[in-house]
Amino acid sequence: MNMSFDVSPIGATFGAIITGLDARSLDDRGESDLKAAFAEHRVLVLRDQNLSADEQVAFSRRLGPLYRMPYVKPLDDHPDVIAVLKEADEINVSTFGSWWHADFSYLEEPPVFSILQALELPPKGGDTLFADMCAAWDALSDGMKRLLAPLKVMHSGHIYGTRLASDGSKGRMRGVQVSTGHAEADVERAHPLVRLHRPSGRKALFCSPTYTTRLEGMTAEESQPILSMLYDHFARPEFTIRQRWQDGDLLMWDNRAVVHLAVNDYDGYRRLLHRTTVGSERPVAA
């Protein structure tokens, strides 16, 4: 496809780096090319952006209606922006999103796009990993696909609930103010295990060790062998890419088709990103 900017694939199956595009001055052609590239690659890294919070909000709005996440405190002066921050003196703390997940997948209509802009980066570490849930689905055997296709999987936001599942050996991070103790977050909600990625028409696995509790109609113990197999399967190296952040990077991903995690390996350094979230959609069975 002839694009109005340069697209360099990252992984064998997904992810791309975009250069030659200014997110501040996107024209109609640029916007439609960007949406096409996003539908195909599902994770995009836009280099050399350095957007202000206002500019990030304006750019995000081009992709759809802004979404305000529950339980996470936004910036005081920008209610649509969250600071993802870890201070240099926050040592041995649990961080935000440090194991595989799709953002807020336990909600009835989980958010669709997540957008992160790098503001301050550690000199090493602090990478973000992604797994391609479309490629992971495609690679399963026909027999396993037949077994999984009709299933629903239960998601819970228990980490925000009254049964807080935090690592007791570690402190809680200060930089992202996540509130807990919400009884409604403990509720389990069933979503299709195989989800439609609308922009491409592809099928994607939709489960994660952060929010998925069990398969619908089964106990956690009964579900565990299948879910553990899927978690190991989608995290195989051939389905993953790793974002080594550079100053000015604006990263965007589609929660319908990928899962991600933030590596917490940069104790002693400050790391600050601004996050916006766009759209929400009830997961549709593929």
Residues classed as catalytic: 101, 103, 260, 275
Of 5 and 71, the one with the shorter C-beta distance to Fe ion is 71
Count of residues that interact with Fe ion, criterion CB under 5 A: 2
Supply the minimum distance, in Å, between the C-beta of residue 139 and Fe ion: 24
Count how many Cα atoms sit within 13 Å of the Cα of residue 74 in the half-sphere of its side chain.
Answer: 16
233/29 Cα distance (integer angstroms): 38
Size of the chain, expressed as the number of residues it contains: 286
CB of 261 to Fe ion, least distance (A): 8
Contacts of 43 (CB under 8 A, 6+ apart): 10, 14, 15, 16, 130, 241, 243, 251, 252, 253, 254, 258
Nearest residue (CB) to Fe ion, 85 versus 148: 85
State how far the alpha carbon of 273 is from the alpha carbons of 16, 87, 131, 219, 251, in Å.
20, 12, 21, 38, 10
Q: For the segment 94-153, give every residue that binds Fe ion (CB under 5 A).
A: 97, 103
- Site mask, Fe ion, residues 48-87, x = CB under 5 A? ----------------------------------------
Nearer to Fe ion, 140 or 240 (CB): 240
Q: In terms of CB distance, is 26 or 260 closer to Fe ion?
A: 260
As a whole number of angstroms, the distance between CA 207 and CA 227 comes to 8
**C-alpha span between 124 and 108 (Å, rounded):** 37
Residue nearest to Fe ion (CB): 97
Tokens of 144: 């396993």
Distance in Å, CB of 101 to Fe ion, minimum: 6
Q: Should residue 209 be labelled a site residue for Fe ion when binding is judged by CB under 5 A?
A: no
Closest distance of CB 10 from Fe ion, Å: 18
Binding site for Fe ion (CB under 5 A): 97, 103
